[in-house]
Structure 1
């Protein structure tokens, strides 16, 4: 248990960095880490539910991380409100449906979907123009109606179902409208809050297939607390370098982190 706590604390620090610099909220880091800790420790009642617990705990951690990071970015003047609402409302609706659907999917299938989603995201970022090198920036204008409604619902559906937050879709979306990475990732933080909140509520209230102490529904309270102990102080430190990273380096690092997580997930599948 001390080793598991230290590991979660360490990766909690990493989620703090990814939340501020990449808008992830922690999902791509916390899901494989929590899954690995649960399966390695072989804690009673977690075998069949390990992936569901990992996704649920990731969502709970993201509620706090994304909200705190959004506040930090708002105070720094980096949030683009025109892209936050009403997109956030449709994302929340999709997140509620996606979270419920995830509780009906087996753990192995959920891991495979998680890995497949990572692979598609990486390929899209590398092969389509406008991500690694931003498109020419144009004056801010509202997102199209279909992007806000159907697009927002789809973002919430996939993000909450896989426990990854919405940033992996919202950052490329904003990036291809010509926004610098610093602005795109900053705006992704408040858009991850409805995903995390809807997901956490569904996972916490869903009856689990096995009884286990220290859990609220599928949310592992101890793992979540350890991750937050590491992430929250790191968010306060990471905000000092947000916006100072060269744009090309920032976008390349975003894709690089996704590749690392995909490799980790592939080893565990």
Structure 2
């Protein structure tokens, strides 16, 4: 896959970072699996590690340009952030030893089950009250470690858990997706550190793929070149999307990503 195509897909990761809080992970994993298909089954751990780096940079930039009043909704989350980071360390380390097929199908199953949960269980599409009309609650600190572990293992950043949880806690989609970015930082930073310290798979040497640890810097750089300008523009001029339409679009993107992962890769 050439750099122009990766940059074009990077535009999409930038949009998902702002509109859905994904940080690029759900888009980046199938894309990097496709870009590094020559690595065979080793493409899965490389995609997960590269996705973590893309998410880290995207989420950091999106957080930096998020209005401070929105970020103040995370007050009282001091215990949650270190637990997210601790879980992410464990998940990223475990991903280095998991069979690639397990990581791939766990990604598909996790995404599909989450989409079904959001569709069938009240509180995401069908809220008990209008979002934002009651005091919103924060995420419990005890959720930090499992969210961090699953997110880092799959390379998804955790937003697929934090956004629905925040919405069910009373936040509108606009706020829930914005708050997912600083929480993604706590997951992506330790995951990136573990990935950079890893050893490239033997297939990388055989195919001439230049990896840094388990990260593909070429794919990550091209994706970020496309993503960062989009984040800057959408944060300065956010689109006005009705809350229910926003929630339906989030659900639809989950379904598309699950399908992409089924159809892509070794």
1:9 aligns with 2:7: yes
Match of 2:124 among 124, 127, 131: 131
Q: How many residue pairs align between the two structures?
A: 257
Task: Return the offset for 1:231.
Answer: 0.3
Q: Which runs of 5+ in 1 are unaligned?
A: none
In structure 2, which of residues 88, 105, 116 is the aligned counterpart of residue 112 of structure 1? 105
2:158 to 147, 166, 172: 166
Q: Is 1:78 matched with 2:74?
A: no
TM-score, with length taken from structure 2: 0.92
Find the partner of 1:223 among 207, 219, 223: 219
Measured on the aligned residues, the alpha-carbon RMSD in Å equals: 1.6
Trace 1:175-186 onto structure 2 (pairs within 5 A): 175-186=167-178
Q: Distance in 1 between matches of 2:55 and 2:254?
A: 17
Q: Which residue of structure 2 lines up, in the alignment, with residue 30 of structure 1?
A: 28
Shift of 1:53: 0.5
TM-score by length of 1: 0.91
In the TM superposition, residue 239 of structure 1 has moved relative to its aligned partner by: 1.6
CA distance in 2, matches of 1:13, 1:6: 11
Question: 1: CA distance between counterparts of 2:70 and 2:125?
Answer: 20
Correspondence 1:261 to 2:253 = no
* Paired residues for 1:185-264 under 5 Å: 185-210=177-202, 211-212=204-205, 213-242=209-238, 244-264=240-260
State the shift of 1:177 in Å: 1.1
CA offset at residue 242 of structure 1? 3.1
Structure 2 distance, partners of 1:7, 1:140, is 40
- List gaps (5 residues or longer) in structure 2: none
